[in-house]
Chains A and B, each alone.
Chain A
Amino acid sequence: MAQRGIREYDAKRMLARAIGEYSGGKFRIDDRLVLVTPETDLATVEADHPWLAKERLVVKPDQLFGKRGKNKLILLNADLAAAKAWIAARMGKEVTIEGAGGTTTGILTHFLIEPFVPHDAEYYLAFTSSRDVDTIHFSPKGGVDIESVWDTVVSIDVPVLADQMQVRVLPELPDIPHRETVAEFIQVLYRIYVDYHFTYLEFNPLAFFRGRLIPLDTVAKLDDTAAFQCAEKWGEITFPRPFGKAMTKEEAYVESLDAKTGASLKLTLLNPDGRVWLLVAGGGASVIYADTVVDLGFGGELANYGEYSGDPSTELTYEYTKTLLDLMTRVPDPQGRPKYLLIGGGIANFTDVAKTFTGIIQALEEYKDRLQKNHVKIYVRRGGPNYKEGLENMRRLGERIGVPLEVYGPETHMTRIVSLALEEAQR
């Protein structure tokens, strides 16, 4: 992982804390923020945050999706009672969001409450990073879809080796009121952007009111690999999953297995009625197996994406395989067609192939009857240390459990078992 979206609440909390120090006390960002979660007791929330009862409020979901105005998911200039009622009506509800990349459906679980701020001007400000430069984007026309006014955006590139203290924004800014203040504010935020290992930070709009700059809608990503340097700066931070479908029970279980170990276990269920199931070793190989199923025209039949790697223990591979086999063999194909289990992988560097197959073989043995009932055909392909023994064990397993099973080694192209299975499926 690396670039991870964070909640608007966390981004503003961090900026509010940092900006005083970074600007020598010159700038301030309001730190009055409340994140309402399913665990929050709405009835007593003002006890910890007395300002809620005194201020006019803004409420919006805080779950890594934008265009909340367009999706009618923002409440402006409300009192506390209205805010509570608005949240209560939406908490735990499923909504469909229209975004740039199509629609996404998910459950609302997190809301941000802030004081409502009247303001004069709305700017656009964003910081982005690419290989050689960071780029500061500014437009006097904020608060709208920035793509529609992109010609008003000025972009300032800062080379990655440049001294941040020397960055001067002023000469690049268009003619706006309080130009100097805005320039200095941007320079301070940029220094925070760098020091805090943000990889993306966008304010749309950045409001201006009585000499103060106020970030309204904020989108931020952090580089989570910098956690070892930034624990203090970031404070307690979570990296939420992108908004969308909740995890299935099985996906959550695999995630919990993954969290327990230094090895990697991943499972995404795509189509439980699909007939092609992947049990693939290695991050790189697993993508290629899924690619090949899709590229050969069977994307609709691809049941899952997943991988195991980093030498998981026999127990973990057993649990992982069982989870997969359980999903795969719940209901036979309504037309009685066979299902295909592809136990694939490239040539391992140092992992003992026979050892990693032990857990898989145990689980297959246990699911013997259900595999037969579901007309499962198994294809195996793997190479690496001790692969001959591993493949031989698989071959013997096939005979023992009476499930058709074909076994291939490094002499066969890695994805050949995909085409073999799909050719057979087409017959």
Chain B
Amino acid sequence: MRNDYELFTADTKAFIYGEQLRAAQRMLDFDYLCRRGEPSVAALITPERGGFEKLFWGTKEIRIPRMTSLAEAAAHFPEADVLVNFASQRSAYDVTVQALDIPTIRTIAVIAEGIPERQSRRMAALAKEKGKWIIGPATVGGVKAGCFKIGNAAGTMENIREAKLYRPGSVGFVSVSGGLSNEAYNIVARATDGLNEGIAIGGDAYPGSTLLDHLLRFERNPAIKLLVCLGEVGGTKEYEIAEAVKEGRITKPLVMWVTGTCAKVLPGQVQFGHAGARADTAAETADAKNAALREAGVIVPRSFDDYHLKIEETYQRLVNEGTIVPAPEVTPPNIPLDYAQARAEGLVRRPTHFISTICDERGDVHNYCGVPIDRVIEEEYGIGGVIGLLWFKKDIPPYAREFIEMVIQIIADHGPAVSGAHNTIVAARAGKDLISSLVSGILTIGPRFGGAVNGAAEHFLYGLRNKLAPREFVDEMKRRNVRIQGIGHRLHSLENPDARVELMKAFAREHFRATPLLDYALAVEAVTIQKKGNLILNVDGCIGVLLVDLLTELKFTDAEIDEMIRAGLFNAFFVLGRSIGLIGHYFDQVRLEQDLYRHPLDDILYDVPPAPETVG
């Protein structure tokens, strides 16, 4: 059983409420630095998920359980009696009230700022009723040197090391402000044999425990010989300290200063950073409080500038009197640097495993190939411009953007009968979700479905690059028994041209500087239509050759164009455009509540042999 004045020992186990892995790691690092046998964090409480979290214990990784509720955590770890409550301003009260109801939890540090005063007052009253401790709200917490650290208290490991917090000294320190606690620990470390315990009660008007509450606790703790306190303008709690000193409830030497003496030269009623830091009456001013404390026998410096000197003087007196035997020095173990920190300080390097050259999401605004997304919108890059940035890494001119969008619009759908749409429809009707149905359609895209674009580009490029006259090209393909891709249409012919092809041709002639591959393909068409009127350059062929011409426009070399084709550029346009249609088919089927598709038996030729061939 621990003494009632002792909130934390070297065996203290705590829960952390909230997604606070860095705070948890800092607590573990502190534990390790103090050579604690076991980590102080029993579990993280994160309502969103359970399981485990990996954290470091020195150089080793250990598992810390995650629990989804306080009750569950308390049932698993009845030995944990501290809750570090990182819940937000909105929910910190509910979490605290819950924790106050759990018998095994005794001390709750409430970190959130901006908890309504009425809630803070209720928390404080409930804690008092149940004989429990609340530290905060609006605090970084506190530290028990050599034993336990609340969350992020005491700052970096470097601070902790410099202020010798890895082993207990003789000083009990309590302040309002958490922001100044590092400074205070530094002062104490330089002026004395070090801190025993330091608490920041938080800057709100109604902290769950007061400066006096902690001073009285320190008074009862025989390991603490010297009390140091930093108060603040506003409120009247410091008078209770003066009373306690007068009444002999505090007998240990107390060095104390109340900040905010400058309020008298500031205009009107100044509200300093803390909610509680405002003097509403003369009694709440820092000057009045310092005077009352001095009068009660507290050691009050002339100004903060002498604060450390008073602490040092008093400490030396206690050493001379034999009250304090200075705590022996110990050497704490090393805490390995975190990789992130070491990297920030330029101490380590490591080869990366990934590289990205098309976008960067680390800045304020994500960028596409160096163009911030807000500019993409403002300057109307459109889908075509974005494809230019992310696929080609080029800021392409408006006509190129427009052409790409034209291609996507034309490719978007070809009706429900083609294999992609058919597959999507069948999958949708089998009750599969959007992604499965879409993927089922997309997976048919390849050499046969949608492949004509790719094939046409390759075929005509072959002819053009090898300087084959159109008739030679047609003859060679015939000799090799290869059907020229991109030529021929079911309905359209020379007399009845495909409007889509005409539109693309007209657009390219108007905007492209040159269209060598289109010209070549049309020269080939002039040969093939002599054979049959419908052997025209079709829509796939036209897209294929014009995309190659576009790449040439965009200053891609022949080698780069070949690389893009090999990488599947044409399929990329097809997948992107056709997905629009496939998604449409999926929604269509879902809205129509279409049932599972079963192919009619009379549409299948059944030709099963009476028995399989027997082998072996």
* A positions within 8 Å CB-CB of B: 1-3, 101, 104, 129, 131-132, 159-161, 194, 197, 199, 223, 225-226, 228-229, 242, 244-245, 264, 266, 268, 270, 282-288, 290-296, 299-300, 302, 305, 307, 309, 346-350, 383-386, 410-411, 413-416, 418-419
CA distance A294 to B259 in the complex (A): 11
Contact A347-B155, Cβ < 8 Å, known A294-B265, A295-B302:
yes
Would A228 and B90 count as touching, CB distance under 8 A? yes
Q: Given A225-B114, A414-B304, are A384 and B265 neighbors across the interface (CB < 8 Å)? A: no
Contact A347 B183 (CB under 8 A): yes
Docked complex Cα distance between A87 and B206 (Å): 41
Q: Is the CB of A268 within 8 A of B179?
A: no
Given contacts A197-B116, A287-B262, contact A414 B183 (CB under 8 A): yes
> Is B59 interfacial (CB-CB < 8 Å)?
no
| B116 A350 Cβ-Cβ under 8 A | no
Which one of B122, B182, B265, B305 lies within 8 Å of A415 (CB-CB)? B305
Report yes or no: B179 in contact with A242, Cβ–Cβ below 8 A.
no
Other-chain residue from A131, A295, A305, A347 in contact with B121 (beta carbon distance below 8 A): A131
Which bucket holds chain B's interface residue count? 35 or more
> CA separation between A268 and B272, bound complex, in Å?
11
Complex Cα gap A160–B180 (Å): 31
9 CB contacts below 8 A, A to B, read A104-B268, A228-B90, A268-B266, A270-B266, A291-B303, A349-B155, A349-B159, A350-B156, A415-B303
8 A Cβ contacts from B250-281 to A: 259-262, 264-277
Q: With A161-B129, A287-B259, A287-B260 known to touch, is A346 a contact of B302 (CB < 8 Å)? A: no
Q: How far is the CB of B24 from chain A (nearest CB, A)?
A: 15
Known: A283-B272, A348-B155. A199 touches B140 (CB 8 A): no
Is A283 a contact partner of B273 (Cβ separation < 8 A)? Answer: yes
Establish whether residues B205 and A2, one from each chain, have CB atoms under 8 Å apart when the complex forms: yes
Q: In the bound complex, do residue A346 and residue B117 qualify as a contact, i.e. CB atoms below 8 Å apart?
A: no
Q: Is B180 touching A197 in the complex (CB atoms < 8 A)? A: no
Q: Which residues of A contact B154 (CB under 8 A)?
A: 349
Query: Hey, which chain A residues are within 8 Å of B116, CB to CB?
Result: 197, 223, 225-226, 229
Which chain A residue lies CB-closest to B237? A131
Q: Are A349 and B121 in contact (CB under 8 A)?
A: no
**A346→B270 contact, CB < 8 A:** no
Name B159's contact: one of A293, A296, A384 (CB within 8 Å). A384
- B217 interfacial contact with A, CB 8 Å: no
Q: Report yes or no: B114 in contact with A282, Cβ–Cβ below 8 A.
A: no
Residues of B within 8 A of A226 (CB): 116-118
* Distance, CA A86 to CA B159, complexed state (A): 63
CB-CB under 8 A from A418, the residues of chain B are 305
Once the chains bind, are B182 and A160 in contact (CB under 8 Å)?
Answer: no
Whether A290 and B262, one on each chain, are in contact in the complex, defined by CB atoms closer than 8 angstroms, is: yes
Is B158 a contact of A2 with CB atoms below 8 Å? no
Distance of A285 Cα from B274 Cα, bound (Å): 12
> Which A residues are in CB contact (< 8 Å) with B183?
285, 346-347, 383, 414
A291/B262 contact (C-beta < 8 A), A3-B117, A159-B125 known: yes
Nearest chain A CB to B132 CB, angstrom units: 14
- Whether A350 contacts B152 by the Cβ 8 Å rule is yes
A383: B residues at CB distance < 8 A = 182-183, 186
Q: Interface 1/0s, chain B 138-178, versus A by CB < 8 A?
A: 00100000000000101110110010000000000000010
CB distance from B273 to the nearest CB of A (A): 3
Q: Is the CB of B265 within 8 A of A413?
A: no
Inter-subunit contact B266/A305 (CB<8 Å) = yes
Check B186 against A131 for contact (C-beta < 8 Å): no
Residues on A with beta carbons closer than 8 Å to the beta carbon of B179:
282-285, 309, 346, 349
Q: B118: which of A197, A282, A283, A415 is its contact (CB, 8 Å)?
A: A197
The 3 A-B pairs with the shortest beta carbon distances in the complex, nearest first, are A283-B273, A295-B303, A346-B183
**Known contacts A268-B266, A299-B262, A307-B273, A223 near B118 by CB under 8 Å:** yes
Contact status B125-A161, CB under 8 Å: yes
Contact pick for A295, options B124, B206, B304, CB 8 Å: B304
> Which of B162, B180, B275, B305: most chain A CB closer than 10 A?
B305
The residues of B that contact A410 with a CB separation of less than 8 Å are 162, 186
Closest chain A residue to B200 by CB distance? A284
**Interface flag for B386 (CB, 8 Å):** no
User: Within 8 Å of chain A (Cβ to Cβ): is B292?
Assistant: no
The closest CB in chain A to the CB of B268 belongs to A244
Q: Please state if B305 and A295 are interface contacts (CB–CB under 8 Å).
A: yes
Binary A-proximity of B91-120 (CB < 8 A = 1, otherwise 0): 000000000000000000000001111100
Contact between A302 and B265, CB atoms less than 8 A apart: yes
Query: Which residue of B has the minimal Cβ distance to A387?
Result: B158
A287: chain B residues within 8 A (beta carbon): 232-233, 259-260, 262, 272-273, 277
B564 within 8 A of A: no
- Determine the residue in chain B with the shortest Cβ distance to A2: B275
Question: What is the 8 Å Cβ interface bit string for chain B, positions 296-332, against chain A (1 contact, 0 not)?
Answer: 0000001111011000000000000000000000000
With A160-B121, A284-B179 as given contacts, are A242 and B304 in contact (CB-CB < 8 Å)? Answer: no
CB of A302 within 8 A of CB of B262, answer yes
* Interface flag for B551 (CB, 8 Å): no
Closest Cβ of chain B to A352, distance in Å, is 8
B458 proximal to A (CB < 8 A): no
CA distance A369 to B584 in the complex (A): 68
Residue of A nearest to B273 (CB): A283
Chain A residues with CB below 8 A from B89, complex form: 225, 228
| Least Cβ–Cβ distance between A64 and chain B, in angstroms | 10
Say yes or no: B125 contacts A264, CB within 8 Å: no
Chain B nearest Cβ from A274, distance in angstroms: 10
Q: CA A131 – CA B186 in complex, angstroms?
A: 32
CA distance A414 to B186 in the complex (A): 10
A413 and B187 contacting across the interface, CB-CB below 8 Å: yes
A245 to B269, CA, bound (A): 12
Across the two chains, which residue of chain B brings its CB closest to A299?
Answer: B265
Check A291–B260 contact: CB distance below 8 A.
Answer: yes
How long is the Cα–Cα vector from A159 to B121 in the complex, in angstroms? 10
A291–B115 Cα distance when bound, in Å, is 28
